[in-house]
Amino acid sequence: MATSALAYVEARATFARALREQRISREQLGIAIDRLDVYMARYALGPVDDARLREASDLADRHTSYALRALDAIHLASALRLAAGKPADITFACWDLRLWHAAHDEGFTMLPDAEPA
């Protein structure tokens, strides 16, 4: 399994929001961070470097009809780099409609296999 290195930051920001909105306690935050660290150690992490940012910028231009967000474009660029020209060989898991469509159009095998609700 692989993801962009920025997935860690996104998860931590989500946890912080949950704490801020009082949906989790400080203790639950600590548990969530500990578990995230364990799970992220199992993933191959694609770097967020200058090349990836330029690739993501090109993807944002290419997928204007889906209004692809910046961080989603970076995730997609990381996946394309991992796919090494064979996106159909990679299963791209995504439940965000805009990112799902962009990844589908790039040729990835999608999970879910039909457009998410």
Q: Would you say residue 117 lies in a domain?
A: no
39 shares a domain with 58:
no
Q: What is the model's pTM? A: 0.86
How far is the C-alpha of 49 from the C-alpha of 35, rounded, in Å?
Answer: 26
What pLDDT does 117 receive? 80
Domain that includes residue 35, residue range: 2-45
Q: Are both 58 and 97 inside the same structural domain?
A: yes
Burial class (CB in 10 A: 0-12, 13-18, 19+), 109: middle
Flag whether 116 is in a domain.
no
> What is the structure's pLDDT at 30?
98
Question: Could you tell me the mean pLDDT of each successive run of 10 residues in the chain, 117 residues long?
Answer: 93 97 98 97 93 97 94 96 96 96 97 92
Backbone angles phi, psi at 93, to 5 degrees: -90, 125
